[in-house]
Structure 1
Amino acid sequence: MRYVILGASASGVNCAKTIRELDPNGQITMVSGDENIYSRCMLHHVIGEKRSIEEINFVKKIFSQNYKIDWMKKVKAIGLNIRDKKVALDNGKILEYDKLLIATGSSSFIPPVKNLREGKEIYGLRNIEDAIRIKEKAKKAESVVVLGGGLVGIDAITGLLEHDLKVSLVEMSDRILPMQLDRRAASKYERLFEKEGAKIYTSVGAEEVVLDEENRVKAVRLSDGRLIDCELIVVATGVRPNVDFIEDNTIVIDRGIVINSRGETNIKDVYAAGDVTGKSPIWPLAVKQGIVAAHNMVGKSKKAEKSFSLRNSMNFLGLQTVSLGLIEAPNDSYHVSIEEYGDSYKKMIHRDGIIYGAVVQGDISYCGVLTHLIKNRLNISHIEKDIFDINYSDFFRLKENGEYEYSV
């Protein structure tokens, strides 16, 4: 069996490893534009010079040898012939496959802000080359503006604060990390970053990039008229799936490649996983998608678990936070319970005895219980305790013979 995997990040690597474990004799070819395997979640450590590219590698150096994988580095797919099952590469080679996984990830989306696409010293943050370029420019610049306050944007300012320059962040929402955190949890991070010297602008967008005669960045003009001087811009306003090599009207794409619970696309023997699917861009999901696709590629039926929105876990400037499920009540039929003490903040969104979401910041020891309750939609109406005091012991009972049994 000939397996071809396009991409060597979380989903591609885990797919390759799983295929080899399930099929010791199959031919596995992995194609990647990168020369190294590394965690994109840790690129900010490279920017801040806390770690090298070798130190953010999540596999052993002899990974490809150990798993008998033919890894084609610094090569990209430029065409896909689904009828003849062939992939055209930019090095002129053609790969034939029996099963194909598309895990080509995504690229930074540069929004149509005036001069943003034309200016020099403007970078996205999606790969190691971006991180290295940003790091080198940060050493020479006096000021930088990061556009976008999601996870990538916050990663960027975390790394940039390690350099001696003025750091500003612009976010259109009323808070940073708007997809992960509520206003109260986000404000704690905002205060921490501002204490470290960053300037946070929320509820405002970039209207224009001011350039000099050589098209180099001079400043960013905000939608409210304010001007932020800078010599470097990092764009973290969203991503686009890397699907340019796929012909129109072949594989179904809707903000990403559409897959079913088995990782299958609408084309027989073609699978997809990771950021290219346009799903929630978190590492654990990409890993699971790669593993599920691998099972089905070797003929062992496996479905992804029931969708559960683990928004993310984060630890910026020493403050740990986890958000699970809903972070805001959808309507008045939901109840919101809040507990705060010291640096700890806990918020539960629940209705009719079922918890649908939570934000836990500071002391995150309660997250294991919460994950179980939210993921499985367990009804806690029968438990006569404060919602913040519930633990695993509340779901076990003692049988007549002295044994414990799980009881919901």
Structure 2
Amino acid sequence: MLDKLKNVFKGKQPTKYVVLGASAAGINAVKTLRELDKEADIILISKDEKIYSRCMLHHVISNHKTVEEINFVEEKFIDDNKIKWIKNQEVKGIDEKAKLVELEGKIIEYDKLLIATGASSFIPPIKNLRDGNFVYAVRNIEDIYKIKEKASKSKNVAIIGAGLVGIDAVAGLMDYENLNVSLVYTEPFVLNKQLDKYTASTYENKFLKKGVKLYPNSKIQEISLKDNKDVKGIKLENDILVECDMIIVATGVSPSVEFVNNTKIECDRGIVINDKCETTVENIYAAGDVVGKNAIWPLAVKQGITAAYNMAGVEKQINDSFAFKNSMNFMGIATVSLGIVNPIDESYKVVTRCDGDDYKKFIYKDDVIYGVVAQGDISYTGALAYLIKNNVKIPNIEDRIFDIGYGDFLTLKENGEFCYSL
């Protein structure tokens, strides 16, 4: 396709593309824009001064990696792609009529604009939580540096929230010497949106053996503070006090959309986009966590690439919006969940198999698989994801469900390539 586009921009005034945000969506967008338009002016604007994977921040907490080691682009990516990068800048507003982006003391013009500003950590309205000292989120590298500094001096840390970010924080902190780690969560088990009770319990048992204290089904009354507002503990509804001198909040995110409030860009818990990643304002696109949908890395990448194609005048739609896929590997235990992890109603059938450390659960109905949870042996989950995403009917599913593999659905083309035979 790129060969066909060589002359598309020939003789034209260079297009000025402005991309807000330097994470998964924004970086993949600028890379794709440069591939499509060799002559364009591409400006990247970000609050960050480094490019890094937020999914790997817990490795920096645990001291297994540095911020440079969680960089997901080549060392000379910015220079090689001739991108002008404006760092450490927060967007103050957008003038969609004049095609301007307002920064602190600076105005940037654009022809096409991509908003990929991501999301910020959500701090729940718990009494004293926002007023206490040593309360942190896990969102930016600056958060991580503060957590590391405090953790090296602390005795007790409490993490609020047992989703992926909360569990990442536990994994990053539990090997700190002389640091007691507590996990407080309202759900009956950890990772309840990604896992079922059995697979979650595997991780819970490992955490308990490591000395982590778990507080499931817990509602927080308030944060107990010292006279100087340093945190002292988390008071639960049953009057239990979870002692801590630092708190990490991992209770979800809010799309970073404040700067579009005075525009005609439509928002509904995030910026509204169509299948081309277009917003409701011409020449403005959005991708990644800022759209408020399934906040996972692969979808942000796809949206960033799709937005770039359409910004460059090459029509492209999201051809794979299947986002109900989670993979994780805590303490050497690999787990993948696809589709739904629990049946929606009694019309769905559930079958499970446990063989030592290997566990597999299928949720199906009318010869179609709607969900899979696999732990330990996660082979063939790629084929299963394809079957779930495409609602493929599988004859005699009850007799063969645990034996489905790539070989059942692949065939060989005349040119020697494999393809799905569905």
Q: Same fold (TM over 0.5)?
A: yes
CA distance in 1, matches of 2:420, 2:40: 42
Q: Does 1:388 align with 2:402?
A: yes
Correspondence for 1:320 = 334
Question: Secondary structure of the residue that 2:33 maps to in structure 1?
Answer: helix
Question: What secondary structure does 2:269 align onto?
Answer: coil
- Number of the residue aligned with 1:300: 314
Query: How far apart are residue 18 of structure 1 and its match?
Result: 0.2
Asked whether the equivalents of residues 33 and 73 of structure 1 are also in contact (C-alpha less than 8 Å), the reply is yes
Q: 1:329: which partner in 2? A: 343
Q: Work out the CA distance in 1 between the residues paired with 2:132 and 2:27.
A: 35
Q: Percent of counterpart pairs with the same letter?
A: 53
1: CA distance, partners of 2:217 / 2:398: 42
Report the counterpart of residue 182 of structure 1 in structure 2: 196
1:394-405 alignment runs, 5 A limit: 394-395=408-409
Match of 2:126 in 1: 113
CA contact (8 A) 1:208 1:222 kept: yes
What TM-score, normalized by structure 2, do the two folds share? Answer: 0.93
The 8 Å contact of residues 264 and 272 in structure 1, kept in 2 or not, is answered as yes
Residue 369 of structure 1 and its aligned partner are, at CA, apart by 2.0
Counterpart of 2:141, as a letter, is I
Q: What is the RMSD computed on CA atoms of the aligned residues?
A: 1.7
What is the correspondence of 1:149-164 to structure 2 with a 5 Å cutoff? 149-164=162-177
CA shift at 1:373, angstroms? 1.2
What letter is aligned with 2:46?
A: S
Match of 2:137 in 1: 124
Q: Which runs of 5+ in 1 are unaligned?
A: none
Kindly tell me: are residues 77 and 396 of structure 1, through their superposed partners in 2, closer, same or farther at Cα, counting changes over 3 Å?
Answer: closer
Larger mean Cα displacement after TM superposition, 32-41 or 176-185? 176-185
User: What amino acid is the match of 1:12?
Assistant: G
Q: Which one-letter code corresponds to 1:9 in the other structure? A: S
Give distance in 2, aligned partners of 1:384 and 1:122: 50
* Counterpart position of 1:253: 267
Q: CA deviation at 1:406?
A: 5.3
Residue in 2 that maps onto 1:244: 258
Distance 1:157 1:202 in 2: 15
Seen in structure 2, the aligned counterparts of structure 1 residues 203 and 82 have a Cα distance that, compared at 3 Å, is: same
Instruction: Judge which range, 383-392 or 322-331, deviates more.
Output: 383-392
Structure 1 counterpart of 2:149, from 118, 130, 136: 136
2:421 & 2:99 partners in 1: Cα distance?
51
Q: Does 1:344 align with 2:344?
A: no
Q: Paired residue for 1:232?
A: 246
Instruction: Specify the SS of the correspondent of 1:153.
Output: helix
**Partner SS for 2:307:** helix
The secondary structure found in structure 2 opposite 1:100 is strand
**Counterpart for residue 6 of structure 1:** 20
Whole-Å separation in 1 of the counterparts to 2:119 and 2:137:
11
Q: Give the conservation status (yes or no) of the 8 Å contact 1:80–1:247.
A: no
Partner secondary structure for residue 259 of structure 1? coil
Distance 1:271 1:125 in 2: 27
Q: Contact between 1:333 and 1:351, CA under 8 Å: does it hold in 2? A: yes
For the residue of structure 1 that corresponds to 2:386, the secondary structure is: helix
**CA contact under 8 A between 1:5 and 1:102: conserved in structure 2?**
yes
Where 1:387 maps in the other structure, the secondary structure is helix
Flag the 1:406–1:209 CA change in 2: closer, same or farther, 3 A: closer
**Pair 166,300 (structure 1): closer, same or farther in 2 beyond 3 Å:** same
Any unmatched runs of 5+ in structure 2? 1-14
Partner of 1:371: 385
d(CA) in 1 for partners of 2:184, 2:398: 45
State whether residues 363 and 371 of structure 2, in contact with CA within 8 Å, keep that contact through their aligned partners in structure 1.
yes
Encode CA deviations 1:133-182: one digit per residue, 9 max, x unaligned.
00110000000000000000001111111212000011111111111111
Query: Cα offset for 1:274?
Result: 0.7
Distance 1:405-1:94 versus aligned 2 partners, 3 A rule: closer
Q: Which residue of 1 aligns with 2:11?
A: none
Q: How many residues align?
A: 404
Q: 1:352–1:381: 8 Å Cα contact kept in structure 2?
A: no
Match of residue 42 from structure 1:
56
Q: Is the 8 A contact 2:296 2:323 kept in 1?
A: no
Contact 1:344–1:363 (8 Å) recurs in 2: yes
How far apart are residue 126 of structure 1 and its match?
A: 0.3
Tell me the CA shift for residue 333 of structure 1. 0.7
* 2:113 is the alignment partner of 1:95: no
Q: TM-score, normalised by structure 1?
A: 0.96
Residues of 2 paired with 1:397 and 1:219: CA distance? 60
Provide the rounded CA distance (Å) in 1 between the counterparts of 2:259 and 2:159. 30
